[in-house]
Structure 1
């Protein structure tokens, strides 16, 4: 795929239209296919409902995480693979002790802080719209803090994760 073709993939939703598949390639019917639709993992709701405190009792996500992992494992075992997977509905019910929110879609690194909540935006693997390099963000979570660092793909493949971050993961 050329850089020009790849760039178009990242402009999926415009004018309330999803262009996830090339109109040129999808113009003619090529036979049956299937996709998977999932809904409402709603992390935190199971505990909230079990305790009867649906307003603030969703501080545990273990059951929903286990079920989501089971769903991903089941989908990954399918043959043939689905054409795509779409997840609809509520993603979370409650935010237990959240200190940082990590996102993308801005195609450059950015972020800020609001009331002790860090918003961290990671630049793109693909099409860059700022001066950042194609890369990935490494996030280390300890009991005391969250440390994150953006690495270019070249840096990460040539040098790996820096020693200070690796040391944090070794501490118990």
Structure 2
């Protein structure tokens, strides 16, 4: 196995900063680049899926997550082979499947997925975004802290070659009753970072999509309640956000709100539709942001 296997997993989002990028130096546009977006590694979900709903973990269940671990490893291998390398690889939530209270599965999944993610070439920074399985459907201070302790901050921002990247904790918009104070801190922080209009582009990354196809669609499990949705979409649009990248749906989807595009990327792990395990490659130019989803076997060696 490659030497990168032996490197420990590095937490890179600390104190609302993403350590690999010096934001002051990275505020300047330096030319076109690309990054890779994935979502929902979610080791264990395949063995838990009944076809309609995720089953509950039981201590004596014959659960393993070989399928998702190998799917994630295959992605990592492809990214490591790319020349030039992507500027970063971002995983938009549900890095694990087992909830905070589902032991011993949660601890084992954290260990196993971090070992695989640590195989990523060290020249490709890994950006982790929290999902509902990572911090809980009804997050608490302790469930959020567990995620932070294992994967880094649950929200933060950074600049990359003149592009402002904002990472949200979307679970605050789904259920925040247990952590209203933390949600308030999140919103104050978000209002502050959205005021910076110096970047060539502003991009948001989160787990749960605001919508799947149309901004005025009905609420269901995979999107956000419509009043909150419209309020936040207008805030982002009026702040100059160009794109919002999400996961959660385990299928590819997306649509637009006014001139702002939201992109929903299918899973690295279990698929719930016709897509195959893969990632989205995103090319950023001075005037545009283009993207395409690739199944793992089809990821090109060069995307520029």
TM-score, length-scaled by structure 2 = 0.29
Higher RCO by CA contacts (8 Å cutoff, separation 6 or greater): 2
Larger Rg: 1
Q: TM-score by structure 1 length? A: 0.48
